[in-house]
Structure 1
Amino acid sequence: MGCSMDDQRREAAIWFRELRDRITSSFEALEDRGPGDTAIGRFVVTPTERGEDGGGGLMSVMRGGRVFEKVGVNWSEVHGTLSPGAQKAMAARGVPGIEGDPRFWASGISLVAHMQNPHAPAVHMNTRMFWTPGAWWFGGGADLNPCIEYPEDTAHFHAELQEACDPFDSEYYPRFKAWADEYFFIPHRGRARGVGGIFFDDLNSGNWEADFAFTRAVGEAFLPAFLPLAEAHMDQPFSEADKDQQLIHRGLYAEYNLVYDRGTKFGLETGHNADAVLMSLPPLAKWV
């Protein structure tokens, strides 16, 4: 006999929490090896709650470290009632069974890292599960956001993501890479915010175990995809011009997350802690 959806939701929430714990530990270990003699960065963990609805999470943010200028690794498990606007937006993108009962449950991990060294790329990753009485699905992905691109870094990042995708379906990587290229695009600037990765949403093949296994594989691929890049560049010499280029690129990142990002809109519309929702914003940015 298979597990109930309640059991599956609990299993997913626990796994997202465990992934969060492993990533924060790995990032603090990288801080221990970071260059310089300033204070070693550590995560400050703050519990979060959702207004009148239910649930909350953990907001984990490190600021001013040797390697990370600002990095957030948030975990959440929330439930409540979707607004008519949220239901309409989900129905418009083809989510089945979303127009009836407005109750929902969601859990996931969301990560954004902004680096001290401008040669080290910023990065984003998230994985999540969403449920309503009429539907369930998984979503997530990861994308690399260098201000100074190194082709070998881009190739490594994409290769790790493809290795995670291919055992499940040979069409997943090209499909989800194309989706990321489309999704992480800034229309008013006419350019991508970075060098891409993968993005998927509304994933429901009818087999919960298979879709959850794929989502776990994407999450597991993150550290092998990103940590070698951060370590390779964390003590690389840089100039004021390099730092200026980083700050300008961060402006693009902020514009995207405030204007277009689906997760930012959903988090603010459903009453989640605003600081947790907006932790993706860089500590410093510049516009010309």
Structure 2
Amino acid sequence: MTDPFDDRKSRASAWFRELRDQIVAAFEALEDGPAAGPAADNAPGRFEVTPTKRQGNDGEDAGGGLMSVMRGGRVFEKVGVNVSTVYGTLGERAQKAMAARGIPGVAENPQFWASGISLVAHMQNPHCPAVHMNTRMFWTPAAWWFGGGSDLNPCLEYDEDTAHFHQVQKDHLDPHGEDLYPRLKEWADEYFYIPHRHRARGVGGIFLDDHNTGDWEKDFALIQDIGRAFLPAFLPITEKRRETEWSDADKEAQLVHRGLYAEYNLVYDRGTKFGLETGHDANAVLMSLPPLAKWV
């Protein structure tokens, strides 16, 4: 019997791959331009693309994707853009976590399908902010939902950069309801908070999870616009800051700030926990970690 969701799964998976291709092309184009500091003499960076595989609980094929990582470029010190479509059986810990969030039916039937894109960029120039973005669709026989968002993580903050990033998010969300941006901004402020440091990891953005209004087309359109907001929100900031000269003190501040990012992703991030617990490629899951960081 044909699963009525097969077409929707295919469309979502294809969209995440299309968004991945757009971002990879835009980031490589950035690398062809000028930069400041020692990295200005580097060759333009290019992504190294590696297929990834997820191994199911019984060792069976359970999907996979593409891990695209660029290291040591002019603009990007390390950036990863991963896309995947995975499926199989949820482990006991994942079932319990989803049940605790109110997801129905995972105990009775732990089969799942998930597809999405995940991006983290760590920059050469401390004046260029690090950034994170992801969007995803999750399906079980009893439920489906979308999740994701993006947030800006500067070590040296510029009010105008923060304002631009948030305004672009708002512009893309407002057509879906003017209540969405303030709600998703508040959600991001709560989600990307580091309790043991008593501070946020950056200047925020938008975030949502377990999003299901009952209208799949409407919800898919929203998650697409969250993805479409990323490049116009981030690229102009990077283009403006990429040639700003920086000092050793600026680099020190960047490395210390990266420590916050690493702590958050290893201790709190829901996607990191899910990826490791469900057997996805560990290198792809931990792609988000910075190449260098410091703790004081």
- 1:166 is paired with a residue whose SS is helix
Q: Secondary structure at the match of 1:106?
A: strand
Which amino acid is the alignment partner of residue 43 of structure 1?
Answer: F
Deviation at 1:97, TM superposition (A): 3.0
Please give the alpha-carbon distance, in whole angstroms, between the structure 1 residues aligned to 2:24 and 2:185. 26
Q: 2:254 corresponds to which residue?
A: 246
Say whether 1:104 aligns with 2:108.
no
SS in 1 for 2:88: strand
2:232 counterpart of 1:224: yes
Shift of residue 37 of structure 1?
2.7
Q: Aligned with 1:50: secondary structure? A: strand
Task: Give the letter aligned to residue 53 of structure 2.
Answer: E
- Letter in structure 2 aligned against 1:30: L
Separation in 1, partners of 2:230, 2:144: 24
Is residue 129 from structure 1 mapped to residue 129 from structure 2 by the alignment? Answer: no
1:169 CA drift (Å): 1.5
Match of 1:12 in 2: 12
Task: Kindly state the Cα deviation for residue 100 of structure 1 after the two structures are TM-superposed.
Answer: 1.8
Q: Which amino acid aligns with 1:12?
A: A
Q: Deviations over 1:131-165 (max 9, x none)?
A: 00010000000000000000000000000001111
2:47 is equivalent to residue 43 of structure 1 = yes
The answer (yes or no) to whether the contact 1:100–1:134 under 8 Å persists in 2 is no
The one-letter code matched in structure 2 to 1:46 is T
Kept in 2: contact 1:67–1:116 (CA 8 A): yes
Q: How does 1:100-179 map to 2 (within 5 A)?
A: 100-179=108-187
Query: For the Cα contact (< 8 Å) 2:132–2:150, is it kept in 1?
Result: yes
Q: Which residue of 1 aligns with 2:31?
A: 31
* CA deviation after TM superposition for structure 1 residue 98, in Å: 2.8
The counterpart of 1:276, out of the listed 265, 279, 284, is: 284
- Helix, strand or coil at the partner of 1:40: coil
The Cα shift of 1:235 comes to 1.1
Q: Distance in 1 between matches of 2:145 and 2:12?
A: 12
Q: Distance in 1 between matches of 2:108 and 2:158?
A: 48
Shift of 1:93: 1.3
Choose from 230, 235, 239 the match for 2:243. Answer: 235
What is the aligned partner in structure 2 of residue 78 from structure 1? 86
Work out which of the residue numbers 255, 264, 268 in structure 2 matches 1:260.
Answer: 268
Separation in 2, partners of 1:156, 1:99: 43
Q: Is the 8 A contact 2:67 2:81 kept in 1?
A: yes
Q: Which position in structure 2 is the counterpart of 1:192?
A: 200
Q: How large is the RMSD of aligned CA atoms in angstroms? A: 0.9
- Residue identity opposite 2:130 in structure 1: A
Given the two structures, how large is their TM-score scaled by the length of structure 2? 0.95
Equivalent position amino acid for 2:213 in 1:
S
Shift of 1:96: 2.9
**Counterpart of 2:49 in structure 1: which amino acid?**
V
Q: Secondary structure at the match of 1:149?
A: coil
Is this contact kept in 1: 2:42–2:72, CA < 8 A?
Answer: no
Number of equivalenced pairs: 286
Task: Please list, as runs of the form range in 1=range in 2, the aligned pairs for 1:79-94 lying within 5 A after superposition.
Answer: 79-94=87-102
Higher mean displacement: 92-101 or 125-134 = 92-101
The one-character-per-residue Cα deviations of 1:10-32 (angstroms, maximum 9, x if unpaired) are: 00000100100000000000000
In structure 2, the residue corresponding to 1:163 is in which secondary structure? helix
TM-score between both structures, scaled by the size of structure 1: 0.98
